[in-house]
Structure 1
Amino acid sequence: MAYTDVDKERWVAEDPAQKRADRDDFSRDRARLVHSSALRRLAGKTQILGAGHDDFVRNRLTHSLEVAQIGREFGAALGCDADLVDTACLAHDLGHPPFGHNGEMELDRVCADIGGFEGNAQTLRLLTRLEPKRCHPDGTPAGLNLTRASLDAATKYPWLHGAGPVPTPKFGAYEDDLPVFEWMRAGAEPGVRCFEAQVMDWSDDVAYSVHDLEDAIASDWMDPRVLRSRMEMRTVLEIAGATYAPDQDPAALAAALERILATGAIPAGFDGSRNALAALKDMTSQIIGRFVRVVEVATRERYGPGPLTRYDADLVVPDETRAECAVLKAVANQFVVTTRDQMVLKEQQRDLLSDLVDLYAAEPETRLDLDFRADFLAADDDAARLRVIVDQVAALTDARAVTLHSLWVGSNAARA
């Protein structure tokens, strides 16, 4: 189905005169998101390396902006509303806690008995509850009050914990947020993503697979010459098969690497000069263009030239292109994410977040921010109170998490 008035309904009804005055509902959704504090906080959250690691690497905000730039043009070429896809791309990582996926894993452990923690489910919670913009008539928060189409487009995994179409730890909503999830998904088949969400997801994959490689090279975490070393790449291809493309056989992944190298986009070396940095930028442009162009052509070949929106089509990602993307993800995993230094740091980060949960729980009425304090006082059981504490911890930037931990652990030690 294409966009309808129902798609543009909001969780809280708004004044008809105000709606007529708006240039466009999806444009207004994008504006609300751009001005949100949740989006600003992404500037202080880890992408692949810690926020502030150096002056080149991406943080979670710059990554989201780049995903939005790719998705806006890619979606528009396929007939999507550009503002709708832009909104979905800007929103897709809002729920990530401090320290990226590492923090997500720790908070999921903390929440094991209350339904788990998942960055994508936290995104829906932020958009529909935690981020202040609109309230329900009874005074309870309604988040940014985006249209159902924008919320649906921002939802990578449109199912509850354990209810996905295939076994996966990923999910897009907590049981606590079931009412808005059901409203958002009204009329959609269970587990089926709308077309705009698929465009957002591929734009995200393209952005981080290529940009993480660029960051790794520019920050001297890896030498691009290793991509041409059979010995070095053997482990990378194993990671690609085990983690990112388990349905692809080793020969297909090896062939994917050869195709990437055959493009000539990967520089032969990197010395940090402006010429080398320019070559690195050319690499990102060429590979991103390749990944987007192939998928656009394949999708058009299946569905024809008309506008593709909502549930009228599925994005077509050829296996060969998906394999190439998986190999690039595995490169960053091997040379940055799982290095010995990073693994030690990740353990420290998980301990810090676990401590913060305990520290907030010990003195919630003095330590929680005022908005979360009100949620805590309104919670009616221990599970709901723990969820509020995790909401608070997830909202922190990397730097604030470290600062609060240092402050509170230091003061506790002094009292002891």
Structure 2
Amino acid sequence: MHNEQRIARRSGGTGRTADLATNPFRVDRDRVASSPFFARLGGVTQVVSSTGSGLLVHNRLTHSLKVAQAARAIAERLTNRPELTAVLEKLGGCDPDVVEAAALAHDLGHPPFGHLGEQVLDRLARHRFGLPDGFEGNAQSFRIITATDVRGPKALGLDLTVAVRAAMLKYPWTRHQDLGLATAPRGAAEPADLPGTGSAKFSAYVTEFNDLRQAREPFEGRIEPWQQTVEASVMDTADDIAYAIHDLEDFHRVGVLQHATVAAELGTWQAQALDLAGLSDAELDAEIRMPGRSLETLRRRMHLKDSWVMDDEAFALAVRKVSKELVDGLLAVPFDGSVEAEQAVAGFSARWTRRLVDAVGVIEEPTPRSGHVVLAVAQWHEVQVLKFVHRRFVLLRPDLALHQRGQARLLSSLVDALEQWVTDRTEADRLPRRLHDLVELAETEYASLARTEPSTLVGPAGELSVGPDVVRGLARGRAVVDFVASLTDNQAAALLEALSGRTGQLWTDAFVL
């Protein structure tokens, strides 16, 4: 691929004198790192609060930094292998600076309160505001770097290069886009509990569809239209690695991940694997609260979803490896903040990160369920088991659910209060300037789509008549969602306090963007 195509910017320009770096991809990295949307990630929960957790529990900022670290390491390893040079060039390139920039930017659109905030905003966007493509963190990140961040030369987005924009597209389609495949790529299938809502994951709203298309044009004929670029695949793999390792660190630090329960689950499955495999699905479901049953359910789900790589022997070895390293190693001694405890956490993280980063390879013709950049079979299974431990013993805890229900109510109330404000004609001149500008931006975008592609604004089953009132309503909804998604956890809570009349503090004291 010609480098001129990869360095092309959204505006058609080549940069500006305010940029310090001369390498265009380093310019992109610097623009992301200096964005206020990036800085706010320090106040956005990864999964658990940092209170009383010792030196560090990850937030979205530290997570993004570690994803960028792993992504760059993977890219450097791949580009330093002479046998891969021709393959990487054929597929469109793999530049360490590109993957680092994309990794830093991949969570810019993550809303307050982690994935819980994403689910709440999606539900509100679709049901309250009638936005067919709702809310999705990856799509919101792409919207920020192409539209709502105003620090680029044109005051619309960061004006990044084609390569970096394409590398951010983990799911290079819109929510209701028909990919025409018998086997849906990872993330493209509809959620089983939300029929008719489109892809579970997607990386662009309809308002950014032209930006998605422009970013993908240089890769036409090199990779499938629904496939990640190599650089996006590197970033995605690095995200998986960081997620699998660092969240477990956090849960160990705050005392959530208990040795006994994890040991019982993994140990029971290893001791009774043959007996568990003989249970019917109904019997397994009836016994799901007993140790070993959840892990057996994972094994069966992996056969259904990822038969292209799933291997029972590799799965058993992965369970044994995780049991030795996590149960008999890290979790065997409770975290108490001592030097020894910190060393144990650091050692666990370093060993696993190196093991996984070193196991990354490239395949020329992946299945729809995989990217071009993949973990070796053994390490792929290990990541699935590590992520299972996180999901089973943290995300499904009732006390976390209690906390999250409160956060969901907070976000719903905040959206309700802002909607009332933005629709109050007597207060039109006193809206926060940021919110006012977001309404204007969305109204321009939706008015254009109403003229050219009205079906994108009403969804697959909607009427095609999209008048000014509909456009205005959609714009207000998207603006409120954009606004709330740009808050930190504390800003969201403080803003609701002020809008509810429960504090005498000026709300601007707690609000930046």
**TM-score of the two chains, using structure 1 as the length reference:** 0.86
> Which residue among 461, 464, 488 is the counterpart of 1:397?
488
- Partner residue of 2:382? 324
Mapping for residues 16-27 of structure 1, pairs under 5 Å: 18=17, 22-27=21-26
1:176 aligns with 2:238: no
Partner of 1:131: 149
SS state at 2:474 partner: helix
**Residues 358 and 13 of structure 1, relative CA distance in 2, 3 Å threshold:** same
Matched, 1:101 2:100: no
Distance verdict in 2 for CA 1:238–1:350, change over 3 Å? farther
Unaligned 5+ residue runs, structure 2? 80-93, 190-198, 269-289, 365-370, 423-427, 444-470, 504-513
Mapping of residues 191-210 of structure 1, within 5 Å = 191-210=226-245
Deviations 1:183-219 (A, max 9, x none): 1111433211100111111111001111111111111
CA distance in 2, matches of 1:398, 1:135: 30
CA–CA distance in structure 1, aligned partners of residues 475 and 204 of structure 2: 15
Rounded to whole Å, the distance in 2 between the matches of 1:217 and 1:126 is 34
Q: Identity of counterpart residues, as a percentage? A: 34
CA apart distance, 1:15: 5.9
* Deviation of 1:120 (Å): 0.2
SS in 1 for 2:500: helix
Q: Which residue of 2 aligns with 1:283?
A: 348
Offset, 1:322: 1.9
- Amino acid aligned to 1:78: L
Give the structure 2 partner of residue 338 of structure 1.
Answer: 396
- 1:275–1:21: structure 2 CA closer, same or farther, 3 Å change rule? closer
2:270 is the alignment partner of 1:214: no
**3-state DSSP of counterpart to 1:186:** helix
TM superposition shift of 1:227: 3.7
Q: CA deviation at 1:169?
A: 0.4
Q: How far 1:255 moved relative to its partner?
A: 3.4
Give me the TM-score of the superposition, normalised by structure 2.
0.71
**Post-superposition shift, 1:222?**
1.7
Q: CA 1:27–1:341 in structure 2 vs 1: closer, same or farther (change >3 Å)?
A: same
In 2: Cα distance, 1:51 partner to 1:282 partner: 21
Shift of 1:223: 2.9
What SS does the corresponding residue of 2:373 show, helix, strand or coil? Answer: coil
Match of residue 171 from structure 2: 157
Residue 375 (1) aligns with residue 438 (2): yes
How far apart are 1:176 and its partner, in Å?
Answer: 1.1
Aligned with residue 352 of structure 1, among 410, 416, 419 = 410
**Partner amino acid for 1:255?**
L
Cα distance, 1:282–1:171 mapped onto 2, change above 3 Å: same
- Residues 243, 25 of structure 1: CA spacing in aligned structure 2 closer, same or farther, 3 A cutoff? farther
1:186 aligns with 2:217: yes
Q: Report the Cα offset of residue 411 of structure 1.
A: 5.1
Matched, 1:4 2:3: yes
Using the alignment, how far apart are the partners of 2:321 and 2:358 within structure 1? 15
CA distance change for structure 1 residues 149 and 25 in 2, over 3 Å: closer, same or farther?
Answer: same
Q: Give the 3 Å change call, closer, same or farther, for CA 17–341 of structure 1 in structure 2.
A: closer
| Alignment match, 1:261 | 323
Unaligned runs of 5+ in 1: 304-312
**How far, CA to CA, are the matches of 2:138 and 2:300 in structure 1?**
23
Q: Distance in 2 between matches of 1:343 and 1:50?
A: 14
d(CA) in 2 for partners of 1:218 and 1:316? Answer: 30
Cα distance 1:345–1:32, how it changes in 2: closer, same or farther (>3 A)? same
Q: Is the partner of 2:402 in helix, strand or coil?
A: helix
Aligned length: 394
Check the 8 A contact 2:53/2:253 in 1, yes or no.
Answer: no
Aligned residue number for residue 72 of structure 2: 72
Q: What is the one-letter code of the residue matched to 1:142?
A: L
Residues 347-402 of structure 1: per-residue CA shift (max 9 Å, x gap): 11111111111111111247754123123146242112100110001111100111
Q: Distance in 1 between matches of 2:32 and 2:16?
A: 22
Deviation at 1:158, TM superposition (A): 0.7
- Superposed counterparts of 1:107-122, under 5 Å: 107-112=121-126, 113-114=130-131, 115-122=133-140
Q: 1:145 to 1:228 in 2, by over 3 A?
A: same
Higher alpha-carbon Rg:
2
Residues 1:347 and 1:19: Cα distance change in structure 2 (over 3 Å): closer
Separation in 2, partners of 1:269, 1:407: 44
Deviation per residue, 1:228-254 (Å, 9 max, x gap): 323486255256458888434777544
2:321 maps to a residue whose letter is R
What displacement does 1:277 show?
Answer: 2.0
- Aligned to 1:316, the other structure's residue is in SS state strand
- What is the DSSP-based 3-state SS (H/G/I as helix, E as strand, rest coil) of the residue aligned with 1:41? helix
CA offsets 1:65-118 (integer angstroms, 9 cap, x no match): 111111111111112322111101101111110011101001111122312110
| Partner SS for 1:96 | coil
The answer (yes or no) to whether the contact 1:239–1:330 under 8 Å persists in 2 is: no
Answer yes or no: is the 8 Å Cα contact 2:122–2:134 preserved in 1: yes
